[in-house]
Amino acid sequence: MLRRIWAITQKEFIQLFRERATLILLLVAPLLQLALFASAIHTDVKHIPMVVADQSVNQASRAYLNAFVQSDYFDIVATVASQADLVTAIDNGQASLGILIPPDFAAQVKLGQAQVLMVVDGSDSYTTNSAYNTANAISQSYAVSLIHHSVTPLTMSVRILYNPDLNQLWFIVPGLLAALVQGLTLGLTALAVVREREVGTIEALLVTPIRPVELMLGKTIPNLVIAFANTTSILAVAVFLFGVPFQGNLLLFASLAIIFAFSGLGLGLVISVASQSQMQAQQLSGMFNFVGMFLAGFLFPAYALPPVLRAIGYIFPMTYFLPIVRGIFTKGVGITAIWGQVAAACGLLVVVLFAAARLFRASLD
């Protein structure tokens, strides 16, 4: 059995090293993607363009607007006269937020009844949420500063664990590592079997005594080496270039990363065996990777998804590896804290390899 698996593995290694340009691209592309995504993805949007209609024009209104500007979250790009002009500026894309301060703002502030109108562009969800939440918090902070009580009725002490400075790279980069490895592993094996079928070499494999499971393993092992090399390089770039601290056990992380990569490669094999052409396999692997990123909880928590979508997410390795990588990478937890995800990942690995072998046998019949 081992000799047959090693024979297929040697064949895949020879084919892999024969295409040097493709090999270099496989090793370099994930690093470029990490650098681009880590630099471009921002969950905390700053310098939001804001247009203002200050109909009060006094010290109170200027102090209120200064609170927005000094927060670094908003930049006043224009001053207009009316609410209609605010909406026009947002329609033209000049601003994402508009503030209307009424003429009697200063007098109403003294009475404790001041009101302002905030108009937000709802066409961009990230900017909308960030603009609304931040502007609302600034307004509440300004209102509290006007209250002159010697005793505060409530004091809340907040401790933020693992990421006290709320550095968004510490949140994004571990998730990016999982997303990039999943996309890589799906792409590596999505063409493995269907390519053999299209070029006509599958018949040469069928006359050998190799079994379907052995064929699946032989095609997976060389790609597993590539996937693990990419995981290691991404981890090194994340720690040494982006400065994201690695808190956990490196050996534990490496062991579980191998299981994750193996599961992704196995899912790619299922796609390859089920596909009728290389184009179909590429389309399916791209779709699986895209859907898996969102259902696994990369940007949005999986528990907020509808039950049906959460159930679909269980077929993707990233669903189990994302809590693992964040737990080890960011929190420094051990196996006892993540054993449930580890067991599920191992179970998924067995299922996808068995499914690939069964589908391959069925396709032969």
Do 330 and 247 touch, CB atoms closer than 8 A? yes
pLDDT at 206: 63
Q: Work out how many domains the chain is built from and give that number.
A: 2
CA distances to 43, 177, 201 from 14, in Å? 43, 28, 15
Do 51 and 254 touch, CB atoms closer than 8 A? no
CA distance 280 to 282: 5
What pLDDT, in 10s, does the model give residues 335-360?
Answer: 998 899 999 999 998 888 888 777 77
Q: Are residues 90 and 175 in the same domain?
A: no
Does residue 295 lie in a domain region? Answer: yes
SS3 of residue 259 by DSSP: helix
Do 97 and 118 touch, CB atoms closer than 8 A? yes
User: Can you give the residue range of the structural domain that contains 315?
Assistant: 2-41+166-364
Residues 180, 185, 186: CA angle, nearest 5 degrees: 100
Does residue 160 lie in a domain region? Answer: no
Q: Which residues of the chain have pLDDT under 70?
A: 1-5, 7-8, 10-12, 15-16, 22-23, 39-44, 124-127, 147-159, 199-210, 212, 361-365
Structural domain ending residue among the three candidates 145, 175, 199? 145
DSSP state at residue 112: T
Q: Are residues 233 and 357 in the same domain?
A: yes
pLDDT at 52: 92
Structural domain ending residue among the three candidates 145, 175, 198? 145
Q: Are residues 129 and 277 in the same domain?
A: no
CATH number at residue 136: 3.40.1710.10
pLDDT at 215: 72
Does residue 159 lie in a domain region? Answer: no
Residue found under tokens 């993707």: 316
Q: Are residues 248 and 343 in the same domain?
A: yes
Structural domain ending residue among the three candidates 78, 111, 145? 145
pLDDT at 253: 93
Q: Are residues 75 and 120 in the same domain?
A: yes
Residue of 60, 107, 41, 116 whose CA lies nearest to 83:
116
pLDDT at 290: 85
Q: Are residues 194 and 266 in the same domain?
A: yes
Q: Are residues 137 and 241 in the same domain?
A: no
Q: Are residues 116 and 177 in the same domain?
A: no
Does residue 26 lie in a domain region? Answer: yes
- List Cβ neighbours of 283 (8 Å cut-off, separation of 6 or more): none
CA distance 215 to 202: 11
CA distance 231 to 293: 17
Residue found under tokens 């894309």: 93
pLDDT at 140: 80
Q: Are residues 224 and 336 in the same domain?
A: yes
Does residue 237 lie in a domain region? Answer: yes
Q: Are residues 266 and 320 in the same domain?
A: yes
Does residue 182 lie in a domain region? Answer: yes
Q: Are residues 25 and 55 in the same domain?
A: no
pLDDT at 60: 85
CA distance 348 to 204: 30
pLDDT at 150: 46
Does residue 241 lie in a domain region? Answer: yes
Q: What tokens does 223 get?
A: 């790609």
pLDDT at 208: 66
CA distance 358 to 204: 20
Q: Are residues 188 and 242 in the same domain?
A: yes
Does residue 152 lie in a domain region? Answer: no
- List Cβ neighbours of 297 (8 Å cut-off, separation of 6 or more): 303, 313, 319, 322
